[in-house]
Structure 1
Amino acid sequence: MSLILLALAGAAPAPAVPTVSPAAVETRAQLPRPDAILAQVRRVADWQLANRTNWATMPAARKSVQNPRDWQQATFWIALTELAKYDARYAPPLMELGREQAWKLGDNPFHADDQLIGQAWIWAARNGAGQEALAPTIAYFDHVLANRQTGSLEFIPGAPGAGWSKCTDRWCWCDALFMAPPTLLQLARQTGDQRYAEFAHEEFKATTDYLYDPVEKLYFRDSRFFDTRDAKGRKQFWSRGNGWVMAGIVRMLDAMPRKDPKRAYYEGLFRAMAARLLTLQKPDGYWSPSLLDTDPGTPPESSGTAFYTYAFAWGIDAGLLDRATYQPAAIRGWDAIVRAVQPDGMLGWVQQVGDRPDSVSAKETQFYGAGAFLLAGTAMADLARKEYR
């Protein structure tokens, strides 16, 4: 039977804020064994697969979450490709979904959110689905390249009912750096057509030149937040927003040839952001929804924390981050998001769809949170597998 049809028991009462004792923070530095890590990953993956159409579990979700090609679900599906490397049982749901969706991307011809699912289809093409799975993605991006958008990156919201800013035809918000450029680089690698990579590099740099704060070494979510300050005068850098960027850089580097001359730019950016983020992790392992607000009492937030855990674990394994410096932080991050998993396997403490720090609770989950957890867990398993072999 497909994993999509698995039925799980009803949810147990949600726990209070996940906590860890100060002593455990200081002493816990042992990387868990790969099988223990993967057991947690499977719990979350199985719950999400079993509840993929149970919209009652996500009462705050936008209607668009019901579209598997939308970014909210796509984050989970592309993360499932990483788990499928460890467990072949997770490949059939991906293939089933692709055939059901005719391997299409989203309906918007330029919006990065509609391009993320292409990574799952590229994976499927490499793993048995063939050219049929790849053709719609090629056609989509050939249209993008033939009709390249050159408008401003300034985020000016549209009139009520008119939709988002026109700038979203380009990558004018930092989340887009996870959605689109890794898809383009994977497509370039799969097809050998470097036009896709060249476009990704040019647009990534334009976005970075516009949204990256070289002093704080973090990205503003979009231009509306350049002058936003909190009650203590601190700049506002959204945790999940910067998590999207870090995870996006990981997936770009993973898709680039080792001798690609462009790698140095991304590796330098990745190291700089990692060094800053290391200073912003709280003692309990979480990163605050607003990164510079590390005051006691800030709520746990699992999606941003999962993306940073993913980036740190991958960076250590790839030789880009110093193990002695970053592995304890990755372990604390992993421990934190494991504590956010509810007894039935649902990942809680996921901030809902938004564009800035917001409230969050144990009962709140989303596909993209589960996806971030899977990415973190598989990267941690990769790291642990080398340590315990």
Structure 2
Amino acid sequence: MNHFLLHYLRSHLVTVCAILLGLLLISGCAHKPAATIPAAQAVADVANRAADWQLAHMDNFDYVRTFRDHTENPHGWIQGAFFVGLNRWAEHSQNADYLQALVIKGEANKWKLGDKSWHADDQVIGFTYAAVAARKNDLSLIAPTQKVFKEILANRKTHSLEYNSDPTGQGEATCQHRWCWCDALFMAPPVWAAVGKLTGNPAYLNYVDEEYQATIDYLFDKNEHLFYRDGRFFERRSKNDKKIFWSRGNGWVFAGLPLLIEQIPANDPRKQKYENLFKTMAASLRKLQQPNGFWPSSLLDKDEFNVPETSGTGFMTFGLAWGINNGLLSKAEYLPAVNTGWNGLASAVDKTGKLGWVQQVGASPEKILPEDTQLYGVGALLLAASEVSKL
């Protein structure tokens, strides 16, 4: 190097460094929290890999350890939850193949809900129909859903939310014409609200608010700020004598709240109620996340099943990231939980795109294996990706 140039650089080193530091500060690159946010492209790579793997494995579900018959149901909640996540990711990424996959799904299902259309589990697929109908501006796609909802409103049930086994075999419990188990708060309210928004009919949101409040009154623990899965768990305890609050069960509620809140008009006073519930749950859930980024399957008893669980974690990560992006949660306070949550999820997706550590179909915390996967787990991951990539 030219000796004069070398001498100049040495004599002006402090000035040069000051200039470079100033440029970093101006550009925002020196803002420490931003450096910890997962790169949008890295998030997209994981999400696309997982979505592609799942879409390529919709013909044979031999990789599912339990409840394969439920998984095969094209109108059921397992596939329905996956398509909720795929829809969200497709809208965010504007991936033409994913957007078309949603149309193909609706057409294959003839835009109909499940056979037990009165049951929340068989309604969640309608959220995808409503999203496609909104994009296409074609209300005919939700006509079958509207028909079902009108019948429910005309023959409204008012029975107790007490959870008793259903001897007819039509559902798990006799109370399931109403939302007597917390999973239902993901499966049904966003669909009802979305149809109400599209049609301008206030009856749908009125129904949601009344039935949702009944579930809050019955299943929400005012001390822990978490939901019991259903009334059978009020007195049950884990092996370590802890109250049983199921990760995925609370994940269903927590992820369902953003989907519902987005459908409620800004000037509707009821919107604040659901935002407050969301923030209350967020504060409790943030404290229960483990250092590895995952939430334990049994939220208050991390030692009962001390392994990763990705479905609940996906829903929690989605909710927290959404809360930050929509100004309901403090970025400084909640961003670390989102970062570690996403990193945990990403670590559970293998090179082929298969998501592991998904607790199988159930109603409470159970054993999880590293190779366990399920469609709703992928749906949760795609929901999370749609919001984490916005950060």
SS at match of 1:233: coil
* TM-fit CA distance, 1:28: 11
1:324 alignment partner in structure 2: 332
Please tell me the root mean square deviation across aligned C-alpha atoms, in Å: 1.6
Residues 33-44 of structure 1: pairs in structure 2 closer than 5 A:
33-44=39-50
* Whole-angstrom distance in 1 between the partners of 2:218 and 2:212: 10
* Whole-angstrom distance in 2 between the partners of 1:182 and 1:133: 17
* Whole-angstrom distance in 1 between the partners of 2:143 and 2:304: 51
1:175 alignment partner in structure 2: 183
Which sits farther off after the overlay, 132-141 or 282-291? 132-141
2:198 alignment partner in structure 1: 190
Q: Is the 8 A contact 2:297 2:305 kept in 1?
A: no
Q: One-letter code of the match for 1:164?
A: E
2:11 alignment partner in structure 1: none
* TM-fit CA distance, 1:29: 6.7
1:61 to 67, 80, 84: 67
* Whole-angstrom distance in 1 between the partners of 2:147 and 2:366: 38
* TM-fit CA distance, 1:190: 0.6
- Establish whether residue 284 from structure 1 lines up as the match of residue 292 from structure 2: yes
* TM-fit CA distance, 1:65: 1.3
Return the index of the structure with the highest Cα Rg: 2
- Establish whether residue 260 from structure 1 lines up as the match of residue 268 from structure 2: yes
Aligned length: 357
- TM-score by length of structure 2 reads 0.88
Q: Is the 8 A contact 2:311 2:376 kept in 1?
A: yes
Structure-2 change in CA distance of 1:335 and 1:165 (3 Å)? same
* TM-fit CA distance, 1:342: 1.9
* TM-fit CA distance, 1:264: 1.4
Deviations 1:153-204 (A, max 9, x none): 0001123856421101100000000000010111111110010000000000
* TM-fit CA distance, 1:296: 9.1
- Establish whether residue 108 from structure 1 lines up as the match of residue 116 from structure 2: yes
Q: One-letter code of the match for 1:41?
A: A
1:120 alignment partner in structure 2: 128
Structure 1: gaps of 5 or more residues: 1-26, 384-389
2:152 to 130, 141, 144: 144
Structure 2: gaps of 5 or more residues: 1-32
* Whole-angstrom distance in 1 between the partners of 2:390 and 2:347: 21
1:90 alignment partner in structure 2: 98
Q: Is the 8 A contact 1:95 1:129 kept in 2?
A: no
Deviations 1:243-301 (A, max 9, x none): 00001111111111222200111111111111011110001110000000134971110
Q: Which structure has the higher relative contact order (CA within 8 Å, separation 6+)?
A: 1
Deviations 1:117-170 (A, max 9, x none): 111001111122713211111111111111111111000112385642110110
SS at match of 1:368: helix
* Whole-angstrom distance in 1 between the partners of 2:197 and 2:139: 14
Deviations 1:329-380 (A, max 9, x none): 0010000011111221111000000000000111111110000000001111
SS at match of 1:56: coil
Structure-2 change in CA distance of 1:28 and 1:295 (3 Å)? farther
Structure-2 change in CA distance of 1:220 and 1:84 (3 Å)? same
Deviations 1:205-244 (A, max 9, x none): 0001000000000000000000011233210000000000
* Whole-angstrom distance in 1 between the partners of 2:161 and 2:289: 30
Q: Is the 8 A contact 1:29 1:331 kept in 2?
A: no
Q: Is the 8 A contact 1:239 1:290 kept in 2?
A: yes
Residues 303-314 of structure 1: pairs in structure 2 closer than 5 A:
303-314=311-322
Q: One-letter code of the match for 2:49?
A: R
* Whole-angstrom distance in 2 between the partners of 1:129 and 1:62: 35
* Whole-angstrom distance in 1 between the partners of 2:86 and 2:365: 27
- Establish whether residue 74 from structure 1 lines up as the match of residue 65 from structure 2: no
What is the percent sequence identity of the aligned residues?
A: 44
Structure-2 change in CA distance of 1:125 and 1:253 (3 Å)? same
- Establish whether residue 32 from structure 1 lines up as the match of residue 38 from structure 2: yes
1:371 to 367, 371, 379: 379
- TM-score by length of structure 1 reads 0.89
